[in-house]
Amino acid sequence: MSELDELQVGAATPVSMYTRYTQDTEPKRVALNLSQAIVCFWRTKMAWPESEQRRFTANELRQYVNHYNYGTAPASADRVMRNLKKKNLINYEVVNRAKSLYVALPLEEQAVLG
């Protein structure tokens, strides 16, 4: 068995440990970074007093997120935003689905307390 074969055999080799580590942790790290960027984007929109200023498009969200998380898939921000809403960490409403237009809304009282 060559030295290269020995490095590739077994679960405890540095190559396999690194591969397993990145396969397990990289999606979680990316989702966490996306979540943080999306919450910051939502808070920025919520700082405006008028609902017109709280409107945003999916493309604006993607541009904001990609500025902080270069190289993420375009649909990732949309998916993570929906998950954050389900967890009551952000709130928004779809204004026009065809135009991918949204408006940021305040969190519901129960989500803040609960």
Structure confidence at residue 51 (pLDDT)? 83
In CATH, what is the architecture of 3-113? Orthogonal Bundle (1.10)
Average pLDDT of 57-63?
94
pTM for the whole structure: 0.68
* 3-state DSSP of 49-109: CCHHHHEEEHHHHHHHHHHHCCCCCHHHHHHHHHHHHHCCCCCEEEEECCCCEEEECCCCH
Give per-residue pLDDT as tens, 33-51: 789 999 999 999 999 988 8
Average pLDDT of 61-89?
86
Residue 90 burial (CB count, 10 A): 23
- Write down the domain spans for the chain: 3-113
Enumerate long-range contacts of 51-54, CB under 8 Å, 24 or more apart.
51/103, 54/103, 54/104, 54/105
User: Of 12-21, 32-41, 53-62, 64-73, which gets the smallest average pLDDT?
Assistant: 12-21
Structure confidence at residue 69 (pLDDT)? 72
Q: Which letter, b or e, does each residue of 6-45 get, where b requires 16 or more Cβ atoms within 10 Å of its Cβ? A: eeeeeeeeeeeeeeeeeeeeeeeebeeebbebbeebbeeb
